[in-house]
Every structure is written in C-alpha cells, then in structure tokens.
C-alpha cells in the first residue's frame, strides 16, 4: 500500500526545517548506502550523528507518532532515526531496494530494525525544482510522486524505487524506515481500511452502536492475531 499523508509538519515547523537545512553541513550521500546502492547514488546527506539531523529527526518522529492516519496505516513498532538528504542539479538515486535490516545505534546494544515500510517526507515545494520525482515500482505498475512540502509518502520497503535526476533547483527530504507491529502489507492494508470505516461511522449521528461495537471487536481481534512477536 502506498499512502499520501498530507501536512505531517505544520507551516511553522516546515519553515524552521527549511531555514536550518539551508545552512546544514551536507556530506556525500553514499555514507549510508550499501555496496550496490552506492553505485547508483548521487546526492548529499546529513551524517546520522549530526546534531541538526538528531534535532530535526526527533521533531519528525514525534510528528508521525502523533499523526492518527500515519499510526493507523503503519502500526509502528520501531522507527529508525529519520535521515535527511538533498539532490542538486544532476544528482539522482537510480533503482534500488532498501536494506532489509538497519541497526538503531541510539540503543545499546544496537537494535535491529526490520524495514517493513519506507517513508519520504518532502521538504521542498514541488515547483521549486524540476525532476527529482520519487519513482516506485510495485505489483500495480510504476508511480512517480512529487508531494507538497510537509507531506509524507508511506510505502512498502520491498518496492523497487528511485529518485529521478534533478534538473533545476534542489530537492530536500527527510526519509526513514520502520518496523511495523504487523509484518504483512496486505494485513496492514485491511486493518487500515477497517479502521478508516470505523472512524467514518463513529462520526455519523445515525450510526448503530451495536454495529460499531462489532466492527471494533473485529479490528482488535484481527490485530491481536496478526501482531508479530
């Protein structure tokens, strides 16, 4: 499931991010890539240990965990610390699949995080740069995504994806991965659709309380069955 989640960051947060990142110490983006990905990657990135990356990453993590749509769709168990990248003119990241496991070194010993879902939080307005689309291949075809600044795309980390070459301006984004409580994408999608419909019924004055109670029970019993260890 691919899901566009709008306005994850407020306008004030977004302005703060853009100002701070314009003055950031950008490094070669291959510092976090595996061997094969490094061959396809041309961009700049903040070091994971950069105080700015840690500060802004904490804001992103709090924002997504407090966002009801994100939480309902992702059912996060562990979030890998958010990272930040920038693509200038001529920079790109060709097709690749994200590493299956990453180690959260905020924990000691480092915590292995299975990357079930990938997240891209756009920080540049789409009309401020040309190219730079996030292209995702999945079983339904190929999709190119450029979202408004502050909006997030959630998608399976198993997807083959790339960032197209930037031909004007600069594309700045935050990206991260998470391990979900529910490993299977198809199960998460069913739970999300059920939760959305329960919330829709709850908002209706004429909704039958008995039906809502039954649907809520079904949701939690499925969640209980599908949550992994």
Q: Binding site membership for 2-oxoglutarate: which residues?
A: 171
Element (H, E) at 219: helix 209-226
Element (H, E) at 5: strand 3-5
| CB contact at 8 A, 227 and 182 | yes
Rounded to whole angstroms, how far apart are CA atoms 184 and 228? 10
Task: Please name the residues in contact with 98: beta carbons below 8 A apart, sequence gap of 6 or more.
Answer: 115, 118, 157, 177
Positions of E strands within 29-145:
41-42, 44-45, 76-79, 83-87, 92-96, 101-104, 111-114, 117-122, 130-131, 134-138, 141-145
Tokens 């180690």, located at residue: 103
Task: Please name the residues in contact with 224: beta carbons below 8 A apart, sequence gap of 6 or more.
Answer: none
Residues linked to residue 75 through DSSP beta bridges, in sequence order: none
Q: Which residues are annotated as a binding site for Fe cation?
A: 96, 98, 161
Q: Which residues are annotated as a binding site?
A: 96, 98, 161, 171
């Amino acid at each position: 499931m691919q899901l566009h989640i709008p306005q994850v960051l407020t306008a004030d947060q977004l302005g703060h991010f853009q100002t701070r990142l314009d003055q950031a110490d950008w490094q070669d983006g291959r510092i976090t890539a595996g061997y094969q990905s490094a061959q396809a990657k041309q961009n700049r990135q903040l070091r994971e240990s950069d105080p700015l990356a840690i500060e802004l990453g904490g804001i992103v993590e709090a924002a997504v965990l407090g966002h009801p749509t994100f939480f309902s769709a992702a059912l996060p168990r562990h979030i890998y610390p958010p990272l930040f990248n920038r693509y200038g003119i001529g920079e790109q990241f060709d097709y690749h699949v994200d590493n299956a496991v990453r180690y959260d070194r905020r924990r000691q010993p480092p915590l292995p995080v299975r990357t079930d879902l990938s997240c891209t939080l756009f920080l540049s307005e789409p009309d401020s740069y040309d190219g730079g689309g996030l292209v995702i291949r999945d079983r339904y075809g190929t999709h190119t995504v450029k979202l408004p600044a502050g909006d997030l795309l959630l998608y399976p980390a198993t997807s083959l994806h790339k960032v197209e070459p930037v031909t004007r301006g600069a594309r700045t984004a935050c990206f991260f991965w998470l391990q979900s409580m529910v490993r299977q994408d198809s199960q998460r999608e069913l739970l999300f659709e059920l939760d959305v419909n329960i919330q829709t019924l709850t908002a209706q004055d004429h909704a039958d309380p008995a039906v809502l109670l039954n649907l809520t029970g079904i949701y939690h019993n499925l969640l209980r069955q599908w949550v992994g260890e």
